[in-house]
Amino acid sequence: MQMAGKLMKAVQYSGYGGGAGALQYVDAPIPTPKKGELLIKLEATGLNPVDWKIQKGQLRPLLPSKFPFIPAVDVAGEVVSVGPGVNDFTTGDKVVSMLGSRNGGGLAEYAVASIKTTVKRPLGVSAENGASLPIAALTALQAIRDSAGVKLDGSGKEMNLLITAASGGVGHYAVQIAKLGRAHVTATCGARNVSLIKELGADEVLDYKTPEGAALKSPSGRKYDAVIHCTSNIPWSIFQPNLSPNGKVIDFTPNFMSLASTFVKKLTLSSQQIVPFIVSGNSNDLAFMVNLVNEGKVKTIIDSKYPLEKAADAWAKSMDGHATGKIVVTFGE
Ligand SMILES: NC(=O)c1ccc[n+]([C@@H]2O[C@H](COP(=O)([O-])OP(=O)(O)OC[C@H]3O[C@@H](n4cnc5c(N)ncnc54)[C@H](OP(=O)(O)O)[C@@H]3O)[C@@H](O)[C@H]2O)c1
């Protein structure tokens, strides 16, 4: 399909800051796939907190690479053309992809994706469920399997995990993935989500607004081998008494204090650690998660859906920090 020179609807921002109010609904050129890339007609795009953190300038000077910038990277759709050297995908393939964070592009009718971070989407995985997966589910998977060391086939010893903000995009996948590895899961969330998080498999759930929840104490008295830390601003002094002798806090929002603390713990040879974490996009892990959803072993909770022209409302909802599961932008037929 020849798209060069044609326009598409897109949502972009032109500088740092301004939140949802700075998003502009515009006409933009349809991008052209280069070597090893696909052009995807988008059906759904999942939002993540990193999208608005980039807009706030928290990752400057690395991101974004330029202004105006079309944000968001978690997408699902249909391949409409392929760049040179692409043999494993063809037009008409339904796919899930994690776009490159430097160029973004998810809040638009069309986006270019690298084949290295794109997988085919079986019929059993809807576009909305597929677009919810890349950043949130890969973060949960890599943190639990690689950083915490849970064996997902259940062959390892039972580990005690604490998952904070288990009702969020990352946390709700983390609960389900941890249970696949037969970990014992203590979770925190707000009162309104306690029964949902139990249904997803958590063994015990703490309301984070109660004194017990704020203290992160396991009701059954367990000490945590790893904390999948999906929220922020919890001091080490709260974690430390709840950790097993080799317990680790896998920290998704490392800041100067947590990095300094990691360094001091290395110097003092303490076995309890804060482990800074950054998700890595790769097609093997994405295919693994797509397959788990297709097999019905992991489900996606969708908080809310918005059409592209209302993407600013989706953005504001994400910035508010109270989504249950994933916020998704969907595209008409
Ligand atoms: N380093 C990386 O590679 C990486 C990758 C992915 C995500 N992250 C980061 O990880 C964090 C979580 O991402 P996400 O997508 O899961 O966020 P999210 O979906 O926006 O999380 C929202 C949820 O967090 C809950 N929550 C807020 N404060 C809480 C607290 N103190 N205790 C328990 N629950 C609390 C909210 O519950 P209520 O509504 O009840 O308050 C809500 O359900 C973000 O900061 C994100 O940037 C980092």
Q: 169 CB under 6 A from ligand 1?
A: yes
Q: 315 CB under 6 A from ligand 1?
A: no
Separation of CA 231 and ligand 1 centre (Å): 5
CATH (domain of 228) = 3.40.50.720
Q: 206 CB under 6 A from ligand 1?
A: no
Separation of CA 169 and ligand 1 centre (Å): 7
Same domain for 116 and 245, yes or no, is no
Q: Let me know if residue 53 belongs to a domain.
A: yes
With tokens 């086939």, the residue in question is 153
CATH (domain of 115) = 3.90.180.10
Atom of ligand 1 nearest to the CA of 234: 31
Q: Which of 237, 260, 276 is the last residue of a domain?
A: 276
Q: Which pLDDT value is given to residue 61? A: 86
Q: Which pLDDT value is given to residue 305? A: 98
Type of residue at 12: Q
Q: Let me know if residue 290 belongs to a domain.
A: no
240-246 long-range contacts, Cβ below 8 Å, gap at least 24? 240/272, 242/162, 242/215, 242/216, 242/217, 242/218, 243/272, 244/160, 245/271, 245/272, 246/271, 246/272
Q: Which pLDDT value is given to residue 3? A: 76
Q: Let me know if residue 292 belongs to a domain.
A: no
Q: Which pLDDT value is given to residue 318? A: 98
Same domain for 108 and 232, yes or no, is no
DSSP string, 57-113: TTTTTTS-SSSSB----EEEEEEEEE-TT--S--TT-EEEEE--TTT---SBSEEEE
Q: Let me know if residue 176 belongs to a domain.
A: yes
Ligand 1 mutation target, pool 249, 322, 324, 328, most atoms within 8 A of CB: 322
Same domain for 156 and 114, yes or no, is no
Atom of ligand 1 nearest to the CA of 322: 39
Q: Which pLDDT value is given to residue 271? A: 87
Q: Which pLDDT value is given to residue 91? A: 98
Same domain for 148 and 129, yes or no, is no
Rounded Cα distance, 53 and 60, in Å = 10
Up-side HSE of residue 253: CA atoms within 13 Å toward CB?
14
Same domain for 19 and 30, yes or no, is yes
Rounded Cα distance, 133 and 173, in Å = 9
Separation of CA 8 and ligand 1 centre (Å): 32
Q: 327 CB under 6 A from ligand 1?
A: no
Same domain for 147 and 217, yes or no, is yes
Q: 136 CB under 6 A from ligand 1?
A: yes
Same domain for 107 and 126, yes or no, is yes
Same domain for 23 and 103, yes or no, is yes
Q: Within the chain, which residues score under 70 in pLDDT?
A: 1-2, 256-269, 333
Query: For the chain, how many structural domains are there in total?
Result: 2
Same domain for 201 and 239, yes or no, is yes
Same domain for 263 and 173, yes or no, is yes
Q: Let me know if residue 241 belongs to a domain.
A: yes
Separation of CA 324 and ligand 1 centre (Å): 9
Q: 218 CB under 6 A from ligand 1?
A: no
* Torsion angle, alpha carbons of 195, 200, 204, 206, to 10: -60
Q: Which domain holds residue 72?
A: 7-133+300-330
Q: Let me know if residue 208 belongs to a domain.
A: yes
Same domain for 225 and 258, yes or no, is yes
Q: Let me know if residue 284 belongs to a domain.
A: no
3-state secondary structure at position 3:
coil
Q: Let me know if residue 283 belongs to a domain.
A: no
Same domain for 149 and 259, yes or no, is yes
